[in-house]
Amino acid sequence: MQTKLNLRKVLALGATLAMLATSALASSTSSWPVYGGNANHNSVVSGAPTSSPTVAEINLLNANSGWDGVDTVPVMETVDGVTYAYVLYDGHAAGSHLAKFNCGTAISNTGSSGDAIYAAAKEWDVQLGSASGFQLSTPVLYGGKVYVATNGGEVYAVDTSNGAKSLVVSVSTGQINTPLTIYDDYLYFGTWVGNGTIEGATAPGRYYQVALNDTDNVQSVSSIAKGFYWAGAVVSGSYIYFGGDGGYLYYRPVGSGFGTTSDTDIQSTSLNLATDTDGASDVGNIRSTVMLDGGKLYFTSQGKYLWCCTIGSSGAPAISWKASLGGTSTSTPTKVGDRIYVGYYSGFSAGGVQCVGASGSHTVATVASGFPVQSSILVQGAGTGTDYLYFNTNSGSGAGYCYSYNGSAGASVWSTRGDTYALGGMACDNGYLVFGNDKNHLYVVK
């Protein structure tokens, strides 16, 4: 992955952001506004197809070239019955792009060429930056704008109606590799520096809090090792929680107390899962977003673990339990009832989906296997009868899948055609599923 360390000053967006709504994470029309579809990042869905679906395949700009293309999860909204998907992608020679598509129009043009569906379904497609490369930060919908980050360290606000963009902030330390989240008019994201450490010669990545009603108000905290990769944040009470490389779980106050006086002060509000009594020395990096359910924090780590942490009265997290998985995991857990679903992988050829019991002995059962799954699992069901699981695979023949699981066995329901590496995962709104892959093929499934 590419990392850029270009020094920049923080830039203000201006007074136009002062009118943003303050009551919700996204506007009232948004149905999949953020990574995981909701403020808790628990990817439970309804209305997704449970039998052979219709599939439209869109060719984005410069399709069929390069390793990188769509490597994030789209965000979606339904307005007046019309469902739209907003997709961040690398257009290669065209630079980084954010595009808006009408999902219904895409489906109605199924059977046409990918270029023809692009032309028919596209509402707008705006260039964010001229540099190409992996775009790894899932956007967030909020107040009629899509907030989106580039691999060059910029965050833009893009008007959903016309694609007009404004620079919100630009940061100098590392590449923005985490999903963007917004809570109480504060924007959060993290950066990653491959060889940085808190006490070394090279500074590591940082987690940022930007006040959207005053974008000069930027606070940040240092990571202890390298930084933050795919590690989106979640809020519980007055604290925000996010994982990082080296196996650290961080927690900070939301608002004026987010920043630290000294970078090393972050050590007092971090939980080291490698050295904690209930931890594991081989925890690995935390490269999943933290999911919140029932007052508990759930996430995975690259040491092949699923973790559950409780939150104390002071806001400090503590390890409740952990479960060993069948492989490395960057998958944000999804919980329904007593079932927790996660993806796992080993390289680009092996892995699958597992179900972990949320109570008792936390039994691990394999739902699907034979392909690497780095994405989160979308789940339709209550965790008591048959659940339907939606995910994509990050292999040379990667595809989108639906599996059923009845508590004892998993079964394939449908899949899209074998194509290429599909890293980021699916979004779901109004019965549509949307995901992309490294060839800049965008799939709309209904």
pLDDT 10s digits, 207-243 = 999 999 999 999 999 999 999 999 999 999 999 999 9
Q: Find, among 377, 374, 397, the residue nearest to 387 by Cα.
A: 377
Is residue 25 predicted with pLDDT exceeding 90? no
Contact 258, 221 (CB under 8 A): yes
Beta strands 317-324 and 305-311 are antiparallel
pLDDT, tens only, 302-348: 999 999 999 999 999 999 999 999 999 999 999 999 999 999 999 99
Averaged pLDDT for residues 348-361: 98
Q: What is the pLDDT of residues 144-181, one digit of tens each?
A: 999 999 999 999 999 999 999 999 999 998 999 999 99
Mean pLDDT confidence for 70-77: 98
| Count of beta carbons in the 10 Å neighbourhood of residue 2 | 13
Residue 269 confidence (pLDDT): 98
Q: Which domains does the chain have, with CATH numbers?
A: 15-445 (2.130.10.10)
Tokens found for residue 348:
């680009």
Q: What is the pLDDT of residue 131?
A: 85
CA 314, 316, 317, 320 torsion-angle sign: negative
Residue 427 CA to residue 50 CA, distance in Å, equals 16
Q: What would the two tokens of residue 17 be?
A: 């952001």
Give the global pTM: 0.93
Name the residue among 428, 444, 376 with its Cα closest to residue 32: 428
Nearest CA to 146 among 220, 84, 71, 192?
84
Average pLDDT, the chain: 94
Per-residue pLDDT at 12 exceeds 80 = no
Choose the weakest-confidence range: 19-33, 97-111, 338-352. Answer: 19-33
Q: What band does 11 get if pLDDT is binned at 50, 70 and 90? A: very low
Q: Does position 424 have pLDDT exceeding 90, yes or no?
A: yes
pLDDT surpassing 70 at residue 20? no
For 46-69, how does the pLDDT look when each residue is reduced to its tens digit (9 = 90+)?
999 999 999 999 999 999 987 899
> Which pLDDT belongs to residue 248?
99
SS (H, E, C) the chain: CCCCCCCCCCCCCCHHHHHCCCCCCCCCCEEECCCCCCCCCCCECCCCCCCCCCEEEEECCCCCCCCCCCCCCCEEEEECCEEEEEEEEECHHHCEEEEEEEHHHHHHCECECHHHHHHHHEEEEEEEECCCCCCCCCCEEECCEEEEECCCCEEEEEECCCCCEEEEEECCCCEECCCCEEECCEEEEEEEEEEEECCCCCCCCEEEEEECCCCCCEEEEECCEEECCCCCCEEECCEEEEEECCCEEEEEECCCCCCCCCHHHHHHHEEECCCCCCCCCCCCCCCCCCEEECCEEEEEECCCEEEEEEECCCCCEEEEEEEECCCECCCCCEEECCEEEEEEEECCCEEEEEEEECCCCCCEEEEEECCCCCCCCEEECCCCCCEEEEEECCCCCCCEEEEEECCCCEEEEEECCCCCCCCCCCEEECCEEEEECCCCEEEEEC
Tokens of 258: 């987010």
129-154 pLDDT, tens digit each: 988 899 999 999 999 999 999 999 99
pLDDT, position 19: 35
Judged against a pLDDT cut of 50, whether residue 16 lies above it is answered with no
* pLDDT of amino acid 29: 53
- Tokens describing residue 298: 């759930």
